[in-house]
Amino acid sequence: MSTDPMTTEMPIRRYRQTKIVATLGPASSTPAMIRRLFETGVDVFRLNFSHGSHEDHGDRLRAIRALEAETGRPIAIMADLQGPKLRLGRFADGPVALAPGQLFRLDLSDEPGNARRVGMPHPEIFAALVPDAELLLDDGKVRLRVTACGPDYAETVVVSGTRLSDRKGVNVPGVVLPLSPLTEKDRRDLAFALDQGVDWVALSFVQRPEDVAEARRLIAGRAALLSKLEKPQAIQHLDHIVELSDGVMVARGDLGVEMPPEDVPSLQKRIIRSARAAGKPVIVATQMLESMIGAPAPTRAEASDVATAVFDGTDAVMLSAETASGEYPVEAVSIMDRIARRVENDPLYRAMMDAQHADPEQTASDAITAAARQVAHTISAAAIATYTTSGSTTLRAARERPEVPILCLTAAASTARRLVLAYGVHAVLTEDVQNFSDMVHKASRLAHVHGLATEGQRLVITAGVPFGMPGSTNILRIAWVEAPARPERRQDSTVRQPRELADA
């Protein structure tokens, strides 16, 4: 690697706007594998607290931060909380056979079950049940209809399904359960994750806006909050939940269990539109390249599924078991990267993004940001540069889905890391600017250093003056990019970024 002070940082630039989230697990926990995944295209690493110990997650987090310090590139880390897990009890003699029309009882007893009954140790479910309610067991493989119920039992009839075994999951579609999304385990995991310095916290089992508010109080600004939309009940409050969250995830696995499968694609589009209108990052997740858990290439249907999410305008697509426990984690990231790049180079993609711009709010900040996208297109600018403290200026730019990269310059490591998730954002940690001239010079120089622009190209710059006041975007400037003077060592050159990121 060159020792030139302007190129000490590893030259990593993503040639796509859509980001990739990858889950770490047994197949991807070594520093060497984490590096390979990052170099192949991962922007955000997900730590799934449904599996693994705090020690495991701590080791992975330290490996990511070491890689970040070495490369000088901000890397986002997401802690995904497990949430309440509703499960049946155990059976006395192993799996039982069921038949449609058969009567089957659920109760609070811890006595092992049989073909006529089994325990379900969740009084909150019994409290919410009513006759004719539906219960889905084992991801919907078994469906029961409630015929009678009380505070400690439910008499049901089997609607479909032929086999049931120990500890299978329970879903109750159409019923708001009196449950907090944060169990005692989640609270311990959250405290650990925040102490370790994660950038995003993904909240499971969101049913109501109050669930998001509860998590926000506990997080207290130490990380950004991402609400997982996996319960149909949450969709009834979609815009309010999006408003209260810093980002959202389309968790299609659970949605597909509790809703008819044919409803999920249109719901995916609705959630993405809502998040984009609010300027909040949105992730499409679950079973995107599932066959790659054991195969080196995806099915054509899976490739189309990823492409559809990109065409919908999502900020990010996510890999779960494909990278956590699959046999081909690097290949899964590589194909996802290639699909996203191919879609974004399709003329239809740009036409769809340009046709879906949300109406800007009647504020100077929104007017400037909308104009920046238009100006960048008109003059064929190489990039849009944003100066931000809180991230709001950059998120406004990402909401516009511009056709060029967004160079985000910020003095806050936490802001740089969180914005890695947002569409098109290339975040750079740098010192605060002192005046307007310094702002223009720094944006031009860093756009060149990071490979976003070449000498002679133009740059559209947005910022808020006075500097350092969140949400005050009020300036748009066009600048010519000049090559930096190589002999000069600047105080904010990228050679300093590894230490700043490591210490943040």
212 vs 202: CA distance, rounded Å: 10
373 vs 402: CA distance, rounded Å: 6
Residues 6+ apart with CB under 8 A from 474: 364, 365, 368, 464, 465
- Confidence (pLDDT) at 8: 40
- Confidence (pLDDT) at 500: 39
Separation of first and last alpha carbons in the chain = 25
Catalytic site residue 286?
yes
- Confidence (pLDDT) at 486: 55
- For the segment(s) 19-84+181-346, the CATH number from 3.40.50.620, 3.20.20.60, 3.10.310.30, 3.40.140.10 is 3.20.20.60
Catalytic site residue 87?
yes
* Alpha helix stretches (DSSP H) within 41-144: 54-71, 123-128
Q: Where in the chain is the domain with CATH 3.40.1380.20?
A: 364-503
490 vs 444: CA distance, rounded Å: 14
Task: Give the closest residue to 120 by CA, choosing from 104, 133, 132.
Answer: 104
Structure confidence by residue, pLDDT tens digits, 320-346: 999 999 999 999 999 999 999 999 999
Radius of gyration, alpha carbons of the chain = 24
- Confidence (pLDDT) at 5: 30
DSSP 133-198: -EEEETTTTEEEEEEEEETTEEEEEEEE-SEE-TT-BEE-TT---S--S--HHHHHHHHHHHHHT-
Dihedral sign, Cα of residue 248, residue 314, residue 360, residue 378? positive
Residues 6+ apart with CB under 8 A from 291: 298, 299, 302
Question: For residue 153, how many other CB atoms are within 10 A of its CB?
Answer: 17
Active-site pick, 19, 228, 276, 458: 228
Which token pair is 93?
A: 């003699």
Q: How many CA atoms lie within 13 A of 481 on its CB side?
A: 25
Active-site pick, 35, 36, 85, 87: 87
Catalytic site residue 46?
yes
284 vs 81: CA distance, rounded Å: 17
- Confidence (pLDDT) at 433: 78
168 vs 230: CA distance, rounded Å: 18
Question: For residue 248, how many other CB atoms are within 10 A of its CB?
Answer: 29
Q: Where in the chain is the domain with CATH 3.20.20.60?
A: 19-84+181-346
Which residues share a beta bridge with 154?
106, 149
- Confidence (pLDDT) at 496: 34
Backbone angles phi, psi at 396, to 5 degrees: -65, -40
Active-site pick, 18, 286, 388, 393: 286
Which token pair is 275?
A: 């998040």
Q: Where in the chain is the domain with CATH 2.40.33.10?
A: 96-171
57 vs 63: CA distance, rounded Å: 10
- Confidence (pLDDT) at 253: 87
Structure confidence by residue, pLDDT tens digits, 267-314: 999 999 999 999 999 999 999 999 999 999 999 999 999 999 999 999
Tell me how many helices (H) and strands (E) the chain has. Answer: 18, 21
Strand, helix or coil for residue 418: helix
Residues of the chain with pLDDT under 50: 1-10, 487-504
- Confidence (pLDDT) at 72: 92
- Confidence (pLDDT) at 490: 38
Dihedral sign, Cα of residue 188, residue 189, residue 192, residue 198? negative
CATH classification of 96-171 is 2.70.98.10, yes or no?
no
- Confidence (pLDDT) at 470: 64
Q: Whole-structure pTM over 0.85, yes or no?
A: yes
Its CATH class, for the domain covering 364-503, is alpha beta
Active-site pick, 16, 46, 445, 490: 46
404 vs 184: CA distance, rounded Å: 44
